[in-house]
Amino acid sequence: MKKTNLDQWISELEGIPELTREKLEALQLRRLNALLARARESKLHYETLPEKLDSLAQLRELPFTTADMIARQPGRYLLTSQSEVARVISGATSGTTGPAKRVFYTERDTEHTVGLFMAGISEMARPGEKVYIGMPFSGPFGLGDLIAKAVERLRAVPIRAGIGLTWGQQKELMEAERPENFIGFPVPLLGLARFCGDGFPLRRALVSGDACPAGVMAELERLFPVYPHYGSREMGLGGAVTCPAHEGMHLRENHVLAEIVDERGAPLPDGQWGELVITTIGLEAMPLIRYRTGDRARFLAEPCPCGGVTRRLDRVSRLDPGAVDMEEWDSRLFRLPQLVDYHAARSETGFRIRAAVTGEIGAREIRNALGIDAEITVSVCHKDDKPFYPAKRYVQ
């Protein structure tokens, strides 16, 4: 089996011809110590941390950084001058509940992200093919823009669909362009495939941006091979990519150190589920040290069948779904082949669900699939409707 293209990218970018675990970890320690030295010099948030560690294992002795801390004082984490900042992303990250955060990138940070995207996308799309991009286009150096850049550099053709189109507009675009590949959110992709019905042109899909519920993944994999990716703003938008083995996501370990910890913050061994904690040693503008992502993940303990050196994350979901685990609801409800989309909200008596379907299904089937009582309205999905959630899904 061909090795992951991520290894190849790291080898070239870092000038390490034969990438091994030892060489990668030596690079990580060097980069971590360089970050600690910069942090100390900055006189900002991390200035009291030790200036140098003797081993990567000592990282776990450093304190955590949380989303709240960054939301309160984003400027305390910016290690470059404002003039070097090419892009700022602000706003809540998950639904409406996350705190508003600002994350800064330099042009070099975004260039590395394009490189990572090229490594990940090249496992799927071939030169000359079309790639439908159902991710937000929010200007230069935004997510959609960086993905389109990566697609173009791979000599494939980006179709900049974005996330604001109606079901009908998306269907027209699919029929007019007939793209072989897709990059976007998993649940809206399944809805689109169902809305379009026979003749849906996609052959492969890269899903990211939100958790991919197990039941939705199973439905998608009946249609075409699926390449899950994981990233977050704090790690520079791109973080981990699928390799030819399709078993977990290889982490961009030249730029990101990752740990899994339990609720008390104690480190967990590979194979165990816990919270993903990242140290972004490769970021120039806003590197974070032991940032608690609020995402639930685990490392796959065995080496990958592809022979890659970088470690792999298993599927990533949200750590604390609150009273309602919408991923679980998605898994149950999207087993119904007629379901295109649904919106879920709390009501005075419990929950209210609005379902959009292709036809031939009523509230009773939806209630049975969900397994709890809820106020349910069902309507046939109209071409002028938009997906209920343009990005991350949550119960309102």
Q: Which residues make up the interface to Zn ion (CB under 5 A)?
A: 4, 243, 245, 304, 306, 308
Return the axis-axis angle of helices 107-121 and 143-153, rounded to nearest 10°. Answer: 60
For residues 50 and 45, give the distance between their C-alpha atoms in angstroms, rounded to a whole number: 13
How near is the Cβ of 300 to Zn ion at its closest, in Å?
Answer: 9
Give whichever of 242 and 338 is closer to Zn ion, judged by the CB atom.
Answer: 242
How near is the Cβ of 238 to Zn ion at its closest, in Å?
Answer: 17
331: left (phi over 0), alpha (psi -120 to 50) or beta: alpha
Give whichever of 200 and 230 is closer to Zn ion, judged by the CB atom.
Answer: 230
How near is the Cβ of 310 to Zn ion at its closest, in Å?
Answer: 8
Give whichever of 212 and 306 is closer to Zn ion, judged by the CB atom.
Answer: 306
For residues 306 and 287, give the distance between their C-alpha atoms in angstroms, rounded to a whole number: 30
Return the axis-axis angle of helices 107-121 and 5-14, rounded to nearest 10°. Answer: 150
How near is the Cβ of 14 to Zn ion at its closest, in Å?
Answer: 19
CA 128 to chain centre: 26
Return the sign of the alpha-carbon dihedral for residues 208, 213, 214, 215.
negative
How near is the Cβ of 283 to Zn ion at its closest, in Å?
Answer: 24
Give whichever of 306 and 316 is closer to Zn ion, judged by the CB atom.
Answer: 306
How near is the Cβ of 228 to Zn ion at its closest, in Å?
Answer: 13
Give whichever of 49 and 245 is closer to Zn ion, judged by the CB atom.
Answer: 245
Give whichever of 310 and 331 is closer to Zn ion, judged by the CB atom.
Answer: 310
Give whichever of 125 and 286 is closer to Zn ion, judged by the CB atom.
Answer: 125
How near is the Cβ of 23 to Zn ion at its closest, in Å?
Answer: 18
For residues 144 and 136, give the distance between their C-alpha atoms in angstroms, rounded to a whole number: 5
Contacts of 61 (CB under 8 A, 6+ apart): none
How near is the Cβ of 299 to Zn ion at its closest, in Å?
Answer: 13
Kindly state the tokens that stand for 36: 């600690």
